[in-house]
Structure 1
Amino acid sequence: MTGTDESKEAAPLFCGTLNEDAAALAEAVRRGETLLGSLPAKPRRAAAQQRAAADVLTLCNDLRTRFLAAHAASVYDALTESRSRALRLTELLFAAAETFPGLAPTRAHMAQESKRPQADKEGLEIAQGIFLRAVLNDDAAGRHLMNAMLRPTRRAAALRAEFTRSDRVELETVLVERHGPAAQVTLHNLQCLNAEDDRLVDDLETAIDLVLLDDRIRVGVLRGGVMNHPRYRGRRVFSAGINLAALHSGEISFADFLMRRELACIGKIVWGLTAEREDAAGYALPAHKPWAAAVDSFAIGGGMQLLLVFDWVVAASDAYFSLPAAQEGIVPGAANLRLTRFTGSRLARRLILGGRRIQALDREAALVCDEVVAPEEVDAAVERATQALDNPAVVANRHMLNHAEESPEAFRRYLAEFAFIQANRLYDRDVLDKLRRTWSASRRGES
């Protein structure tokens, strides 16, 4: 394999048998990896070497796509022992790399990639996007993976006794506290205004699990903590969205951040936890609860995405909302699926495609939040909201509203396409250029 037309002619012709096709894929990708290994590191490649590397990666991804088009269900069944094992995303991806060499990057490959800035990475996560698109598009495999991601994490299970005993667990970027029948989850990723990164997603999913696992808690509340950032010192901030500095430096992962956030972290707010037990008809019994959110200062990007799954949103009158997808260049999670339900298509396009910002006192704010109060009245408004949501009928009706507005099947189909599109966007030149400009501006103190 050389990355030229000659290499395309050498691409294997799959015969339709899983084992033989897997062997052909493994050999083709091995040749491609050998060529890539013979080249200088990406930043030092000449133009011809860059083209050769791009051709090889494209060919390997095309072969993975063709292989999965024929064998996705069989591959998933092999990895999960006919869906008797629940593997989370990263476990599944690395199991695929080990069991079917060449299908996905190995742990060693990803460990090496993680040390590089985003612009210097080879783009191995695109193979992960191809794999997850195929799995999620398969009805049985996709449903099984979604349910696996809705199970409590091992970390939450380990912290459950501590939370029960003290009603409080403080993680690196998230604090969760129980106050009677309500739990407040407070984001305190302080230095970066609650910008989201791999650490925050892990902490937030753990906190959500602790809330959902505790039978004493009937309502969850999400709010931003008090900042120590110079521009917002002493003020609460809800969320600045994805941490663009971390993305620029290569510290935002496709599987553990972008996909886990949607399938597990936000998914558990919508659908609750998938329990181990099933009812007599064989359906999993979810543990879900109503959630309120309180927006102080702003909900940017991922912060605004979060609001689309909450049952009641309180906003301070000086806050604003935005989805700067066009400026960042990546897809804003599941906002493209959910936002039109709230705002209609035209305003959704102005927000996502045009970067429109909504102030809390704008007329359109009523489409994305339920109550706007003076900053000093947010605490009281949140208390009223939690009391209103603390009702068994609310639990039943939110469950039915969520199913009516966004079926798990519709969400799964969306996430399948999202996996592929977002993985590719992470390595598109316009995104990398925007990240470089944003990083340079921050170094000059312009943001």
Structure 2
Amino acid sequence: MEARRIYHELTEGLTRPLRAEELVYAAPGLPTREDVGAEAEKAQKDKAGLEIAQGAFLADVLADPACGRHLIESMLAPTPPALAHAAAFARDGEVDLGRAHVQRHGNVGVVELRNPRHLNAEDDTTLAPLEAGIDLLLGDKATEICVLRGGVVDHPRYAGRRIFGAGLNLTHLYRGQISYLFFPVRDLGLVHKVFRADKLWIAAAETFAIGGGCQLLLTVDHILCERGTRLTLPARNEGIIPGAANLRLPRFVGDRRARQAILSGSELQPEELADELVEPGEMDAAILARAQALSTAGAVSGGANKRAFRVGQEPLDVFREYMSVYCRDQAVCYFSPALIRNLEENWRAHDRTP
């Protein structure tokens, strides 16, 4: 298998870690950074689909058990931005990463997604800061319970409110400003870190958790959901795969309901995913109460029980095989004419300002 041989060479016999975004530019025969950079100047509909080759290569690497596990483990390591801020966070208990903010309160660490102009939608500008924020909490010895939360936004319709996440920044997508690598890097990186980490995670979902926001809910250990929060996986309206939701959502709502949500766009109700429904204005108190409750058994017990759940629910090789399929098919979907048609019909992206 050519991908296996190349991967072994680039990683020096599986001894050198390489992240996915490094790997695809180190591998021979794939588009260069210059090639992809030139494509990035174009609208999505005008791109030639060079990055489909990146998806195919990542899929082949992940399909090989040894190479795939090595890549996944490499993606679980802390990122350089996190390592650069680790000492400051340990000392001060707070770091502003721009599109993400991290703060520790006692033994509880909170990472906030902050993209207020776009209702906390995710794009290439949020990817590295959010992953670094997650890394900081996972590596911080004083943090026992971790919390995912959306920051306060300044959009006129929602000014002053917190939004957990508006999903993918579809305006940026339509304009070609989101790379294909956003998808595998996000799911192999920040999303998988929350799921695979031994520390317990709480999600505080407020206003709405759309797309990627909803996907993150499926990785945590306890979901607090403000009453009235909208939960959707609108990938069918975009023409893409909703991350690892196809793998994880059936564990929450069953196979048929998961297919309704993903294939037909049926909106999920907070009661279907949430462990607790929280009244508006009471989320801060709910986070504190749940964090205290989860802390009573101790971090060692919490991590042990989380590992036990993972063994039965999603062994590493199950995730590896899923991501192999995802990397290949998402690349094809992402450069399909159907994606542009869906965005113009369902989002009217051509009428929106950046």
Q: Which residue in 2 is equivalent to 1:136?
A: 62
**C-alpha distance in 2 between matches for 1:164 and 1:213:** 9
**C-alpha distance in 2 between matches for 1:91 and 1:236:** 34
Deviations 1:167-211 (A, max 9, x none): 111112111001110101111110111101112121110001100
Q: Out of 296, 299, 305, which is 2:206 matched to?
A: 296
- Letter of the structure 1 residue corresponding to residue 330 of structure 2: Q
- Asked if 1:87 is matched to 2:18, the reply is yes
User: Mapping of 1:154-173 within 5 angstroms?
Assistant: 154-173=80-99
- Letter of the structure 2 residue corresponding to residue 205 of structure 1: E
Q: Which runs of 5+ in 2 are unaligned?
A: none
Q: Which residue in 1 is equivalent to 2:159?
A: 233
Q: Out of 176, 190, 193, which is 1:265 matched to?
A: 190
- Asked if 1:384 is matched to 2:292, the reply is no
CA contact (8 A) 1:204 1:265 kept: yes
CA contact (8 A) 2:171 2:349 kept: no
Q: Which residue in 2 is equivalent to 1:398?
A: 306
| SS of equivalent to 1:355 | coil
- Asked if 1:105 is matched to 2:13, the reply is no
Q: Which residue in 2 is equivalent to 1:37?
A: none
**C-alpha distance in 1 between matches for 2:55 and 2:144:** 36
**C-alpha distance in 2 between matches for 1:327 and 1:188:** 25
Aligned length: 350
What is the deviation of 1:161?
A: 1.2
Q: Out of 126, 131, 135, which is 1:209 matched to?
A: 135
Q: Which residue in 2 is equivalent to 1:121?
A: 47
**C-alpha distance in 1 between matches for 2:311 and 2:40:** 38
TM-score normalised by L of structure 1:
0.76
- Letter of the structure 2 residue corresponding to residue 341 of structure 1: R
CA contact (8 A) 1:248 1:439 kept: no
Q: Out of 168, 180, 185, which is 1:254 matched to?
A: 180
Q: Which residue in 2 is equivalent to 1:411?
A: 319
Q: Which residue in 1 is equivalent to 2:331?
A: 423
| SS of equivalent to 1:84 | coil
**C-alpha distance in 2 between matches for 1:79 and 1:421:** 24
Q: Out of 328, 333, 337, which is 2:238 matched to?
A: 328
CA contact (8 A) 2:238 2:339 kept: yes
Q: Which runs of 5+ in 1 are unaligned?
A: 1-69, 273-287
**C-alpha distance in 2 between matches for 1:120 and 1:228:** 32
Q: Which residue in 1 is equivalent to 2:101?
A: 175
- Letter of the structure 2 residue corresponding to residue 258 of structure 1: F
What is the deviation of 1:158?
A: 0.7
- Letter of the structure 2 residue corresponding to residue 82 of structure 1: G
What is the deviation of 1:438?
A: 5.3
| SS of equivalent to 1:231 | coil
**C-alpha distance in 2 between matches for 1:199 and 1:388:** 35
- Percent identity at matched positions? 45
Q: Specify which structure has the bigger relative contact order, considering alpha-carbon pairs within 8 angstroms and separated by 6 or more residues.
A: 2
CA RMSD in angstroms comes to 1.4
Deviations 1:27-62 (A, max 9, x none): xxxxxxxxxxxxxxxxxxxxxxxxxxxxxxxxxxxx
What is the deviation of 1:437?
A: 4.0
**C-alpha distance in 1 between matches for 2:269 and 2:258:** 15
**C-alpha distance in 1 between matches for 2:352 and 2:203:** 34
**C-alpha distance in 2 between matches for 1:113 and 1:330:** 20
Larger-Rg structure: 1
Q: Which residue in 2 is equivalent to 1:355?
A: 265
What is the deviation of 1:444?
A: 6.2
Q: Out of 331, 338, 342, which is 2:252 matched to?
A: 342
**C-alpha distance in 2 between matches for 1:441 and 1:208:** 31
User: Mapping of 1:44-63 within 5 angstroms?
Assistant: none
- Asked if 1:224 is matched to 2:150, the reply is yes
**C-alpha distance in 2 between matches for 1:128 and 1:115:** 18
TM-score normalised by L of structure 2:
0.96
CA contact (8 A) 1:170 1:176 kept: yes
**C-alpha distance in 2 between matches for 1:247 and 1:443:** 13
- Letter of the structure 2 residue corresponding to residue 405 of structure 1: Q
**C-alpha distance in 1 between matches for 2:15 and 2:81:** 22
Q: Out of 114, 117, 127, which is 1:191 matched to?
A: 117
CA contact (8 A) 1:426 1:432 kept: no
